[in-house]
Homo-oligomer: A and B are copies of this chain.
């Protein structure tokens, strides 16, 4: 089982991953990368382990063809999928926790050759519907404190095993609220306490006024390049109406969110020639327990958003040592270029 180990100096957690264990020689990059046989395509359902959720065409059976979106457990999970209680230990100065979680893959299409932004708005709506259903499902397990939804597109993590391009996202149910999430919750609470306003609502208001960093806009969503963008062409999508929890997105807004996601990802693809990117959902943690003080006011303080980060630069010693990122493209320039990039979202 993987271990969650806590650094005793600053308190970050690390996953010491036994499922992905590698010997020194296995870190060497392969000389040639070859795309391997894809187990995620329609007709190969037996290759992936059991289907835990799906949207299917009428009359089709689980673990067989006929699906539009399909959810399976990762075969190389970051955290082990186990029904046991999660034990927490101390070892002198160190803290340790069983690496239990739930690591799901959301296969966004039965077809291999389509990336998310190339799918129809209707298909992306189905993916959003599944995202929300999976987050609700994870939230029903009181062991989990947070569900991280993210997507790695076109990234090669250093091992040849990963080279399957079939479009998919990942959701991981975590037994801890990550430090980075806590920081956002605490900061937004402090902002609210001082001003009785949500910081994200304030940011959106100012971005609309200056119009310097807007990428796209529709009835329910707003996309812009953030003022202190850490990566070139970083783009955030926010709901215009204040809401702390993505899982509460009303179904009537799914279509607008799908269109906005398609629009932003298509602009990035066209402008930057299909770069690698991550997107990460920032949303409220599960609120099973009432111990943490910030949960009391989270609905007012926090505002969910999707962060899209093209991965065009690499971090080196300076970023590691300081946490300060270096961005060679001012977000005003990035947003202008993205605005000017015409895409078809219908």
Q: Which residues of chain A have a CB within 8 Å of any CB of chain B? A: 3-18, 20-24, 27-28, 78, 92-94, 148, 150-152, 155-158, 170, 172, 174, 178-181, 183-184, 187-188, 191, 199-200, 202-203, 206, 226-230, 232-233, 271-273, 275, 278-282, 307, 309, 312-318, 320-331, 337
Taking A78-B326, A157-B314, A174-B324 as given, write out 9 further A-B residue pairs in contact, using a Cβ cutoff of 8 Å, ordered by the A residue number. A10-B184, A13-B324, A14-B325, A18-B330, A24-B337, A27-B275, A172-B318, A282-B321, A309-B320
The answer to whether B178 and A327 have CB atoms under 8 Å apart is no
- Distance, CA A191 to CA B93, complexed state (A): 11
A235 to chain B minimum Cβ distance, whole angstroms, is 14
- Chain B residues with CB under 8 Å of A158's CB are 312-314
Q: List 9 A-B contacts (CB under 8 A).
A: A10-B180, A13-B324, A15-B327, A18-B330, A24-B271, A158-B314, A172-B318, A179-B322, A181-B322
Q: How far is the CB of A301 from chain B (nearest CB, A)?
A: 11
**Residues on the B chain within 8 Å of A199, using CB:** 8-9, 93
Contacts of A174 in B (CB 8 A): 322, 324
Query: How far, in Å, is A318 (CB) from chain B's closest CB?
Result: 6
Contact A155 B321 (CB under 8 A): no
A155 / chain B contacts, CB cutoff of 8 Å: 314, 316
B230 touches A317 (CB 8 A): no
What residue of chain B has the Cβ atom nearest to residue A337's Cβ? B24
- CB of B187 within 8 A of CB of A228, answer no
Contact A228 B20 (CB under 8 A): no
| A324 lies within 8 A of B12 (CB) | yes
Q: B17, A326: Cβ atoms under 8 Å? A: yes
Contact of A156 among B232, B314, B318 (CB under 8 A): B314
User: For A325, what are the chain B residues with a Cβ–Cβ distance below 8 Å?
Assistant: 12, 14-15
